C-alpha cells in the first residue's frame, strides 16, 4: 500500500478546506494549501506542517511547481454554488472546467499517487427515485453542475495503476468553519433565526441532502487511507440526512429558540434533491458522527461567543457578495 505523507490541497482555504487542513495535520500529514486566499490566509491556522501558497489554479506553471514532492492531491478549488457561478460564467468555466485537466495531467506527470476530486451531488439533477446512487444517469441542470460532471469524466480517463483517481459527490455541507459560509441552507436558516428571530421557508416539502462539515472531512481522510483496489476510479456519494426544508427549519427553531417566527410561503420551485450514501458506507465503512442538530448547535455557539460577527452584512460569509467586490479576472 502506498504511504501518503504529503498532501496538496487546492482551495484549501475554503469552507471545507480550512477545517480539513488542521484535521489532516492532527493525523500526521504535511500539507500545502494552494488558494487565492480571498477570505484571508488566517482562516487556516498557523502550523509548521501547513505551507500556504497564494495562487490561482489557472496558472498551471505555478501549480506544477507547488505540487512537486507531494503524494496526493485533494482538489477542492472551484467557484462554489450556482449564484456565484452565474455572476461571471466565463470566470466559472475557466476555474471549474478549463483549469481542471491541466492540473490532473500535471499531477500524474509528477508521480502523485492519489487524486481526490470534490464534485457535487447536484450532478444528478432532479430524481424521483428514493435512493439516488452513483450509477444513475447524470442530468445536471446548471453550468456549475455540468462542469462538475465533465470533470468527473476527465479525471476517470487518467486513472491508472500508478495514479489512483477518486470522485466525491458531497451533499450540502453545514456547520461551523473558520472560513464560514452562511449561504447554504442550514447555515442560512440558523443565521436568520438567531439574528432576525424569523425565518421564511418557501415551499418546505423539498428534500435537501445534508452533511455536517466534520463528517465531510472524515470522508476525505477515509479515501486518503483506503486501499487502492477499493477506491481506484470510483465515485462516492457522501451525505447523511435527506430532510425536507421545513424539517430543517423546525430543527433550527427548536435549537435557537421558540420565540423564532417560522413563516411558510408558496413557491413555484419545488425541486427536491436527495442522495444515497450506501456505497461509501459498505466499501469504506463510512459512518456519520454528526447531525444537522449538531451543526446548528455549533453555529449558535459561534454566534454566542462572537466568533462570527455582523453575519447579516459581512461579505466574507457570502460567496457571491465577496466575489462581487473581489475582482477576479
Mind listing the pLDDT tens digit of every residue in the chain (329 residues)?
568 999 999 999 999 999 999 999 999 999 999 999 999 999 999 999 999 999 999 999 999 999 999 999 999 999 986 676 677 888 889 999 999 999 999 999 999 999 999 999 999 998 888 889 999 999 999 899 999 999 999 999 999 999 999 999 999 999 999 999 999 999 999 999 999 999 999 999 998 899 999 999 999 999 999 999 999 999 999 998 899 999 999 999 999 999 999 999 988 877 788 899 999 999 999 999 999 999 999 999 999 999 999 999 999 999 888 887 777 65
In a domain, 58, yes or no: yes
Q: Which helix (H) or strand (E) holds 250?
A: helix 245-256
The verdict on residue 317 lying in a domain is yes
Run of H or E including 108? helix 100-109
3-state secondary structure of 233: coil
Q: Is residue 201 part of a domain?
A: yes
pLDDT at residue 111, rounded to an integer: 97
Q: What nine digits make up the cell of 49? A: 506542517
Burial 66-94 (b: 16+ CB within 10 A, else e): bbeebbbbbbbbbbbbbebbebbeebbbb
Strand order in the sheet with 6-10: 50-54, 30-35, 6-10, 72-75, 114-118, 164-170, 234-238
Instruction: Count structural domains, the chain.
Output: 1
pLDDT at res. 295: 98
Q: Specify if 106 maps to a domain.
A: yes
Instruction: Let me know if residue 1 belongs to a domain.
Output: no
What secondary structure letter does DSSP report for 189?
H
Residues 99 and 60: beta-carbon distance below 8 Å: yes
Domain membership of residue 68 (yes or no) is yes
In a domain, 314, yes or no: yes
CATH number at residue 175: 3.40.50.720
Residue 108 lies in a domain: yes
User: What is the residue whose three cell numbers read 466575489?
Assistant: 323
**E strand or H helix at 265, and its extent?**
strand 261-265
Structural domain range at position 165: 6-325
Amino acid at each position: 500500500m502506498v504511504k501518503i505523507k504529503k498532501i496538496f490541497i487546492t482551495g484549501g482555504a475554503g469552507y471545507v478546506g480550512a477545517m480539513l487542513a488542521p484535521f489532516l495535520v492532527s493525523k500526521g500529514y504535511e500539507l500545502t494549501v494552494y488558494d487565492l486566499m480571498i477570505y484571508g490566509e488566517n482562516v487556516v491556522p498557523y502550523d509548521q506542517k501547513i505551507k500556504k501558497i497564494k495562487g490561482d489554479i489557472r496558472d498551471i506553471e505555478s501549480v506544477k511547481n507547488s505540487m512537486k514532492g507531494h503524494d496526493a492531491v485533494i482538489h477542492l478549488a472551484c467557484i462554489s454554488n450556482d449564484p456565484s457561478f452565474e455572476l461571471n460564467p466565463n470566470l466559472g468555466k475557466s476555474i471549474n472546467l478549463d483549469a481542471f485537466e491541466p492540473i490532473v495531467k500535471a499531477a500524474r506527470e509528477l508521480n502523485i499517487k492519489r487524486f481526490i476530486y470534490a464534485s457535487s451531488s447536484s450532478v444528478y439533477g432532479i430524481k424521483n427515485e428514493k435512493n439516488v446512487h452513483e450509477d444513475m444517469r447524470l442530468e445536471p441542470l446548471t453550468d456549475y453542475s455540468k462542469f462538475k460532471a465533465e470533470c468527473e469524466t476527465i479525471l476517470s480517463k487518467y486513472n491508472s495503476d500508478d495514479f489512483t483517481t477518486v470522485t466525491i459527490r458531497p451533499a450540502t455541507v453545514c456547520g461551523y468553519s473558520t472560513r464560514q459560509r452562511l449561504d447554504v441552507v442550514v447555515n442560512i436558516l440558523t443565521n436568520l433565526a438567531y439574528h432576525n428571530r424569523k425565518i421564511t421557508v418557501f415551499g418546505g416539502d423539498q428534500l435537501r441532502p445534508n452533511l455536517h462539515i466534520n463528517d465531510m472531512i472524515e470522508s476525505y481522510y477515509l479515501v486518503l487511507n483506503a486501499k487502492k483496489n477499493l477506491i481506484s476510479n470510483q465515485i462516492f456519494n457522501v451525505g447523511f440526512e435527506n430532510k425536507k426544508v421545513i424539517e430543517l427549519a423546525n430543527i433550527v427553531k427548536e435549537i435557537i429558540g421558540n420565540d423564532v417566527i417560522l413563516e411558510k410561503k408558496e413557491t413555484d420551485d419545488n425541486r427536491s434533491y436527495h442522495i444515497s450514501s450506501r456505497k461509501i458506507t459498505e466499501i469504506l465503512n463510512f459512518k456519520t458522527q454528526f447531525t444537522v442538530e449538531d451543526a446548528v448547535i455549533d453555529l449558535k455557539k459561534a454566534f454566542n461567543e462572537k466568533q462570527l460577527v455582523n453575519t447579516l452584512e459581512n461579505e466574507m460569509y457570502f460567496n457571491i457578495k465577496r466575489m462581487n467586490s473581489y475582482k477576479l479576472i
